Amino acid sequence: MSLKLVFFICLFSSLVLGYADGNSGKYPIVVSTWPFVEAVRAAWRAVDGGFSAVDAVVDGCSACEELRCDGTVGPGGSPDENGETTMDALIMNGVTMEVGAVAAMRYVKDGIRAARLVMQHTQHTLLVGEKASAFAIAMGLPGPTNLSSSESMEKWTKWKENGCQPNFWKNIVPPDGCGPYHPKSNADLTEGECFSSNLMGVVEPRSSLVGLHSHDTISMAVIDKMGHVAVGTSTNGATFKIPGRVGDGPIAGSSAYADDEVGACGATGDGDIMMRFLPCYQVVESMRQGMEPKLAAKDAISRIARRFPDFVGAVVAVNKNGVHSGACHGWTFQYSVRSPDMDDVEVFTVLP
């Protein structure tokens, strides 16, 4: 075989794989849930400067935590029933399939950095509660610190004055107070009443707490100049959640998923429902089977909507070639993108 033929074969292979000159024009790319423009800019500065996808995800999600995006990322928002703010976060490396995550983490404001420390310095995937806080502080993050704010405490006080309504309890008494709660007994049931999960599979509508500004997660995907993929999430969870609740944010395959061979997915919405379906794992696996990002995203959302028609949520998908799309149910969803052919971050709107 001549040297010229070998050269053209190698050149063709590099173009197909997206590695020509280290950057085919398809990436680097940053994709994030919601119009969190400054977070995407922070991630773009990192990845465009030659840093890894993991580094860029950390920079992007950290920026959102510092900015307290929508009051639902970082400290100072989404108080639980006790008025306390806690952190959930995850990072996943699509090259190694390693995951680091923290959940219900108290006293430490840097959720995504704590998640990365779990991935870097332990053989575990998820640390929770005060032990996660102790680990993060021992690894050098600042703390302990109060994660509440005047805004979160004011919101919590008004909720308490409204009899702790609405909330996430069900099948309990008292139904319209602040507790303490205990399960309904047969004596508490009125004639013809039954629990919401009955033999017919009827599910009661979700709490009105689940909405656009109650618990939005930043879920970010980055493909770096080498074509490597990473994802990350950060959230302070559902407003007025029952203490100890963990949503989909730190659950790999639910809030986010990455695989270098395929692409990535990020999710946001009613985490208690969405985590039962692992929508981001579903999206990535659908793309692995050849489905385009648009159809993969729609398919994952429709699987949830068929069983829970009142749920609100969305996913954004990006394949290894940088093609992206989103799908949603119950609300209008927006996601942000920065790629080499854009002068700045662009926001895309997805209708339900």
Q: Is 313 annotated as a binding residue?
A: no
* Residue 43 backbone phi and psi in degrees, to 5: -65, -40
Where do runs of H (alpha helix) occur along the chain? 3-17, 37-48, 53-67, 111-121, 129-138, 150-161, 271-274, 279-288, 293-307
The residues carrying an active-site annotation are 217
Opening angle at CA 99, ends 93 and 104, nearest 5:
135
Distance CA 241, CA 169 (A): 9
In order of 28, 197, 258, 303, 309, the CA distances from 204 in angstroms are 44, 8, 33, 18, 11
Q: Is 55 annotated as a binding residue?
A: no
Q: What SS3 class is residue 60? A: helix
Q: Is 245 annotated as a binding residue?
A: yes
| 132 φ/ψ sector (left φ>0, alpha ψ -120 to 50, else beta) | alpha
Q: What SS3 class is residue 252? A: strand
Element holding 329 (H helix, E strand): strand 324-329
Q: Are the beta carbons of 71 and 216 closer than 8 angstroms? A: no
Q: Is 248 annotated as a binding residue?
A: yes
User: The tokens of 218 are what?
Assistant: 């930043």
Q: Is 271 annotated as a binding residue?
A: yes
Calculate helix-pair angle for 111-121, 129-138, nearest 10 degrees: 80
Q: Is 72 annotated as a binding residue?
A: no
Q: Is 246 annotated as a binding residue?
A: yes
For the chain, the first-to-last Cα distance in angstroms comes to: 56
Q: Is 247 annotated as a binding residue?
A: yes
Which residue type occupies 12?
F
Residues making up the binding site? 245-248, 268-271
Residues making up the binding site for substrate? 245-248, 268-271
